Amino acid sequence: MTFKPDRKDEAILEMLQADSSRTKKQISKSLGLPLTTVHNRIARLERMGVITGYRARIDKKRLGYDVSAFIHITVDYKTHNYSQEQTARRIRSLPGVESVAIVTGASDIIAKVRCQKTEDLNHFLLNHLRKLPGIDKTTTIVVLQELD
C-alpha cells in the first residue's frame, strides 16, 4: 500500500531526515504545529512503516576511513547456482561494505565500500570480494569527493 504524505508529513519527515535527534517539541516549534499533532503524525508514520528507524550519521573520515569506492559487480551465473540476491547478501556481509544494490545495466550489483587507505581497498578486492563464489567481474570507482 502506497502512502501519500501531505505537506505536514513531508515537513516532519524532512526534519527527521536532516537530524533524527530532534525532539518532537523542537519539530513542533520549528514547524509551528501543536506538539500533539507532531507526536500523532510521527506515531502514524512509524506504524505505517514509513519511518523504519532512527540512525546516527557518522563521519567516517573522522574515524580514519578516508577512501570510499563504488564497485560494479557482474555475477557469474554459469558456474555457480547462486542468485543475484544471494550474491548481494554475501557481499553486504563483508567488512567495510556500507551498502549494496541490485541494479540493471552493464553490472548486476553495485556496492559502496569504505576503507582507511587504498591498500585496504586493494586487500578487500583481492582477498574478500573476488574470492566470493559467483563473482565474474568487478569495476572499482574511487570517490574523490562526497557531498552531504
Q: Give the CATH number of the domain where residue 40 resides.
A: 1.10.10.10
- Number of structural domains in the chain: 2
CA distance 96 to 71: 12
Q: Please determine, for residue 1, whether its predicted confidence score (pLDDT) is greater than 70.
A: no
Asked whether residue 148 is assigned to any structural domain, the reply reads no
Q: Are residues 29 and 77 in the same domain?
A: no
Residues 70 and 116 in one domain: yes
Judge whether 2 lies within some domain. Answer: no
Are residue 103 and residue 31 in the same domain, yes or no?
Answer: no
Residues 74 and 19 in one domain: no
Q: pLDDT band at residue 104, thresholds of 50, 70 and 90?
A: very high
User: Residues 89, 19: one domain?
Assistant: no
- Closest of 9, 17, 21 to residue 45, by C-alpha: 9
3-state secondary structure of 147: coil
At residue 83 the predicted structure's pLDDT band, cuts being 50, 70 and 90, is: confident
Range of the domain at 136: 60-142
pTM of the model: 0.77
Place of cell 561494505: 97
